[in-house]
Amino acid sequence: MSWLQHDLEQVIGDANQNLLEQKVKVVKYLCELCKFKICPPGVVLDIFKTLCDDFNQQNAELCANLLQSCGRFLLYKPETAMRTDNLLERMARLAKAKSLPLRLEIMLEDAFYQVKPPEGKRKQKKEKDPLEQFVEHLVFDRLYKEEDEDQLLKLVRKLPWDGPAVGWLKKCLLDLNHHANYENLSCVASLLSGLAKYRDAFVIDVIDSLLENIQVTLERNDFREMPLRVRQIKLVGELYNYRLVDSVLVFDCLYQFIGFGGPTAHRAGQFITAHKLVEKGLAMRKGGLGSISEEVEDNEDGVQLPDILADPQHPLEAPWDFFRIKLVCVLLETCGHYFDRGASKQKLDRFLTFFIRYVHSKGELPQRFMNMVYDTLERLRPRLVFPELQADANEAVIRQLDKEKDDIDVGGGNADEQDDDEDEDESSDEDDSGSDDGEESSEEESGEEEDSESDDDEAEYDRGDDEQKHAAEDDFDKEVQAILIESLEKEKNAPRALSELPPPTVIAKKTEQLGEMPLGQFSLLQKKTGGKILSKQLSIPDDSKLLRVRGSSMAVPHCATRLVVVVGFASGLPTKTGPPRNR
């Protein structure tokens, strides 16, 4: 310590400019020793006072370095706070009085306000709702570190889904900046996969917002958002791994990155999209319908490629911007290994053909981007040979387009059969495109021929409807007949109710022998389990409704009535089955 202090005292009064660097090193070293309580604070303050006594340009620069190293330590330490504050005010007055260079003025001002910030109104942080803090804790603190994913899913499901917690959860899941862990983005997809069984509308909303954010960042093309875009694209791949999105959406994103999509990535991966882009590119290169080049006349049967195979409405990309190549590689590295069989394998092979051509169209790439492309292709297709010349890549694309064009022309729109993952909308679009071409060719014909063809088509369509109607009616008649036959067989085999049977002959003979019974006497017939029928006499009070009804019926002339109450039992249950009939 004494040696450093003695060395600084010797060189501090020397105005040699070559010794300035040595002075700065000694001052910074003493300040660091002071912060670790090796050098007494009074030594540093004495040096600060010596520099202020002779405030020249070199001493002003030393003051700035001293304050940047341990100024706040000295100011906020109770033992040295007052003396440090006085020296700071003295240095500020000297800086205003002296005519120092602009560089030194800026250094002193930055050092002063770094040690003693200006007193102003500090913005008070808005206090967050406790529920919002809990949601942030679940996503930011536990989602990327939680080992028990089921426990976290249960906590998320218990949130109040009819309030603002849904918006907070969505915001936290899509906040992929410094909170997100790139290697554990699969945790977000896993959580959404678990919520899809219970909150499918929320999961769809999150995926739509993610795709919209990707499109917005592509249009903005701000280099500061590049890390965010990489995380968003990796999350899309993880969503495919957890079966939340299909392969159609993944290939739409891939083709969007290489310029096949328009304002959005919708239907960018269809077979017909590439052919439309080729036609648009050639039309723009011709410069109009009237100018036809000899090159086109020589190669009418083949497919020609424009220099840049991209949609005119696609978000612009600078020729020296290679970032979208990285996005393609990230998405393929995340979920490309699943496209190894069936129709998805053919779709990936087709995309790689266009992607290689896109890489060549960017010119000479930096080595790190080329290594990224080589690694991706080697991981997905080890046997694929990367063409070194752009002409070879163009030939591969032309062969692919010729093959698709032949299949579409011969098969009448069989592109959907080659791609099992395409939805029904794509097939309808291709049919619409074929019908549009037919309408354009039919405009050259006369109006009468068009009317006749339309009438024939309508007639054929009507005949097809009639045949379908007749077939449907025949099927309906057959079903009705089968139902009737089945109901008749059930009626034949069904047992008859006892209430519908006539009274047994034995009981009828007994009642005839008895003659006319009194008005209040009735016979009760009861059938036991063994099949034996018993008769029992019952007496009914005179004021009962049943007795009055019987008296009125007996008053009618030439009418002999006999009331018999029949009760049947089979194993302790009534023999009557089914609902009561409507009368």
Alpha-carbon distance of 57 to 12, in angstroms, equals: 12
Alpha-carbon distance of 524 to 566, in angstroms, equals: 6
What pLDDT, in 10s, does the model give residues 194-230? 999 999 999 999 999 999 999 998 888 888 899 999 9
pLDDT at site 538: 74
Encoded tokens for 217: 């960042």
What pLDDT, in 10s, does the model give residues 268-308? 777 787 777 777 777 776 654 444 444 433 344 455 677 77
Which has the higher per-residue pLDDT, 405 or 562?
405
266, burial (CB in 10 Å: exposed 0-12, middle 13-18, buried 19+): middle
pLDDT at site 290: 42
- Coil, strand, or helix at residue 558? coil
Alpha-carbon distance of 513 to 502, in angstroms, equals: 18
Whether the Cβ atoms of residue 136 and residue 174 lie closer than 8 Å to each other: no
SS3 for 187-226 is HHHHHHHHHCCCCHHHHHHHHHHHHHHHHHHHHHCCHHHH
Alpha-carbon distance of 9 to 17, in angstroms, equals: 16
Block residue for tokens 């439309």: 276
What pLDDT, in 10s, does the model give residues 111-120? 999 999 887 6
pLDDT at site 121: 61
Phi, psi angle pair for 577, to nearest 5°: -125, 155
Encoded tokens for 78: 């109770």
CA angle at 287 for the pair 281 and 289, rounded to the nearest 5°: 95
Encoded tokens for 309: 């195979």
Amino acid at 395: E
Instruction: Please give the full DSSP string across 260-329, using - where no structure is assigned.
Output: --SSS-TTTT-HHHHHHHHHHHHHHHHTSSS---HHHHHTSSS----SS---TTSPP--TT--HHHHHHH
What pLDDT, in 10s, does the model give residues 124-166? 778 889 999 999 999 998 998 877 889 999 999 999 999 899 9
CATH assignment of 132-286+302-405, among 1.25.40.180, 1.20.120.550, 1.10.150.130, 1.10.540.10? 1.25.40.180
What pLDDT, in 10s, does the model give residues 234-249? 999 999 999 999 999 9
Dihedral of the alpha carbons of 81, 86, 90, 96, in degrees to the nearest 10: 70
Encoded tokens for 75: 């100011």
Domain ranges of the chain: 2-115, 132-286+302-405, 498-574
Residue 583: other Cβ atoms inside 10 A: 3
Using a pLDDT cut of 90, give the percent of the chain over it: 37
Q: Whole-number mean pLDDT of the chain? A: 77
Alpha-carbon distance of 120 to 152, in angstroms, equals: 43
- Does the pTM surpass 0.85? The reply is no
Per 3-state DSSP, what percentage of the chain is helix, strand, and coil (rounded to 5)? 65, 5, 30
Q: Is the model's pLDDT at 122 over the cut of 60?
A: yes
Encoded tokens for 109: 């001002």
What pLDDT, in 10s, does the model give residues 4-63? 777 777 767 777 778 888 889 989 999 999 999 899 999 999 999 999 998 999 999 999
Alpha-carbon distance of 19 to 11, in angstroms, equals: 7
pLDDT at site 507: 54
Alpha-carbon distance of 63 to 47, in angstroms, equals: 9
- Coil, strand, or helix at residue 515? coil
Q: Are strands 564-570 and 573-574 parallel, antiparallel or unpaired?
A: antiparallel
